């Protein structure tokens, strides 16, 4: 299964199947540029922030977010890849 990563209105969105998880994004995040690595809940991405002209490497660990929301971590193992979507 493929997942989608994006941001909108101050939140990061992570969607897979019929589920979308939203969590607060860094205040200066403009957008995610690309997913560099996906490892069962751990993302390495390039992100554009308003205080920097160039993209920066960013790390997102979804495991503790899923735990806090009582979403089984096993769902993460079913995701084969993650793509960036604009204005998610």
The pLDDT of residue 20 is 96
d(CA 29, CA 60): 13
Residue 59, phi then psi, degrees to nearest 5: -125, 135
Express as a percent the part of the chain with pLDDT over 90.
97
Strands 56-61 and 81-84, bridge-based pairing: unpaired
Cβ(3)–Cβ(81) below 8 Å: yes
Please report the pLDDT score of residue 86 as a whole number. 86
CA 88 to chain CA centroid, nearest Å: 11
pLDDT digits (tens, 9 = 90+) for 27-65: 999 999 999 999 999 999 999 999 999 999 999 999 999
- What's the CA gap between 66 and 4, in Å, rounded? 16
- Residue reference for tokens 């979804």: 62
Band (pLDDT 50/70/90 cuts) for residue 88 is: low
pTM (whole model) above 0.95: no
Residue ranges of domains in the chain: 2-84
């Amino acid at each position: 299964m493929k997942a989608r990563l994006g941001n909108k209105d101050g939140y990061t969105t992570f969607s897979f199947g019929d589920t979308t998880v939203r969590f607060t994004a860094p205040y200066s995040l403009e957008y995610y540029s690309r997913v560099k690595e996906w490892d069962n809940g751990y993302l390495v991405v390039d992100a554009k922030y308003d205080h920097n002209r160039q993209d920066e490497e960013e790390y997102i660990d979804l495991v503790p977010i899923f735990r806090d929301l009582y979403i089984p971590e096993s769902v993460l193992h079913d995701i084969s890849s993650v793509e960036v979507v604009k204005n998610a």
